[in-house]
């Protein structure tokens, strides 16, 4: 059995005593080992000034002695095994890290007495009023005027007088009919335009009627702000993107109340600053609500048909490109008619799928480069109204009797005329 020595140091003594432990087998039980302590010698401690540090720990030195003693079996069995630390699972590591960081933050917030350094304000935190972006009105290089556009325009306009399209009876201009207050008439027009995006006129018109009933019989800005989102969503549930449009309607109503005196603005730039309002809606709202033809409202029909007619070289890819091209050469007095005319033409004759080129006069006159041969036997017939020539107007004027020209009755046939 190896012997060990223990060195103890007192903070008051200047000498160091060394004690050695010796082991021996018990005389009564050979399986028991006895330990005895024996002081060897005292050694002077070094000076405290020269010692870098003092330690109060008990140091144990184990020395192996070469003797013929056989260690006990229990000593051989008691061998401490070094175990590798168990790896913490990733989930537990994350939880432990979260607890540690939260504890450190809580401790720092409670223990710190110094004034915290001010946080740098981000750009998003600074509330700066945003100026509405100006809607472009002209191209740097105007688009050339397409050939034969006047003849084509006149032919489409003549065809539009012979049938009734959905836009004629259920378009956005019909939303203001049921309103009496001028502000409400303008606002109802704007609401109808916001709902018409990616939606047919029939569904838009029904949604406007449902929304008017849900808001108490009139579409007002105050009623839109006070209404719950669920009420608005139920009224416009059949229009496209109804959830997003509900948010736009609420946000736009709040902005109209706070910035525009609860009325629809009269410029395209201010209208486009409203959530969910683009150039097409802005120019149509100005035409219907304020009777201003400041630009062309280009929707999918106008964009598609003008490209089919070859009015854009090269073909435009977006409605905004189509609008700028048209505004560069189309006379301004036609800005208010082209949208309504082409939308109805696209709803009945020049439909997106299987257009009715068989009944289109542009195909007969050779004015449409995209015309094709269509089999109309299995197609539903289009009901055209007959255009009758109005009889000539007869104007009757009576001359006043003067002294120079008096009325002389005709001679009676029974009396002979004087010679």
Q: Which residues are catalytic?
A: 280
Structure tokens at 32: 């028991």
189 close to 204: Cβ distance less than 8 angstroms? no
For the chain, how big is the Rg over CA atoms in Å? 50
> Pairing mode, if any, of strands 33-44 and 15-25?
antiparallel
What order of strands is seen across the sheet that includes strand 59-63? 33-44, 15-25, 3-8, 59-63
212 close to 308: Cβ distance less than 8 angstroms? no
301 close to 347: Cβ distance less than 8 angstroms? yes
């Amino acid at each position: 059995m190896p012997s060990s020595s223990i060195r103890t140091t007192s903070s008051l003594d200047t000498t160091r005593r060394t004690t050695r432990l010796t082991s021996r087998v018990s005389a009564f039980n050979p399986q028991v080992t006895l330990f005895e302590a024996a002081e060897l010698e005292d050694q002077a401690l070094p000076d405290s000034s020269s010692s870098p540090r003092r330690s109060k720990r008990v140091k144990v030195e184990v020395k192996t002695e070469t003797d013929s003693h056989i260690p006990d079996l229990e000593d051989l069995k008691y061998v401490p095994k070094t175990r590798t630390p168990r790896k913490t699972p990733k989930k537990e590591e994350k939880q432990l890290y979260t607890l540690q960081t939260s504890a450190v933050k809580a401790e720092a917030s409670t223990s710190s007495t110094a004034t915290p350094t001010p946080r740098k304000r981000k750009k998003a935190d600074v509330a700066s009023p945003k100026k509405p972006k100006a809607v472009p009105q002209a191209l740097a290089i105007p688009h050339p005027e397409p050939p034969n556009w006047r003849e084509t325009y006149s032919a489409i306009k003549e065809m539009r007088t012979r049938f009734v399209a959905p836009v004629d009876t259920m378009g956005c201009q019909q939303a203001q009919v049921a309103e009496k207050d001028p502000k409400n008439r303008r606002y109802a027009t704007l609401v109808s335009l916001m709902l018409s995006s990616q939606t047919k006129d029939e569904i838009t018109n029904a949604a406007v009627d449902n929304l008017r009933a849900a808001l108490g019989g009139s579409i007002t800005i105050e009623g839109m702000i006070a209404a719950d989102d669920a009420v608005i969503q139920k009224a416009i549930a059949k229009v496209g993107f109804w959830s997003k449009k509900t948010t736009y309607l609420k946000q736009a109503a709040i902005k109209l109340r706070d910035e525009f005196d609860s009325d629809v603005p009269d410029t395209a730039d201010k209208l486009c600053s409203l959530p969910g309002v683009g150039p097409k809606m802005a120019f149509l709202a100005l035409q219907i609500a304020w009777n201003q033809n400041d630009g062309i409202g280009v929707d999918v029909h106008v964009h598609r048909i003008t490209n089919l007619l070859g009015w854009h070289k090269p073909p435009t890819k977006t409605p905004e490109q189509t609008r700028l091209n048209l505004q560069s050469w189309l006379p301004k007095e036609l800005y208010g008619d082209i949208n309504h005319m082409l939308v109805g033409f696209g709803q009945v004759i020049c439909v997106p799928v299987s257009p009715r080129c068989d009944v289109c006069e542009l195909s007969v006159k050779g004015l449409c480069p995209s015309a094709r041969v269509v089999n109309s036997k299995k197609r539903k017939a289009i009901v055209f109204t007959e255009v009758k020539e109005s009889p000539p107007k007869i104007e009757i004027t009576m001359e006043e009797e003067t002294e120079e020209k008096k009325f002389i009755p005709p001679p009676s046939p029974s009396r002979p005329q004087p010679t």
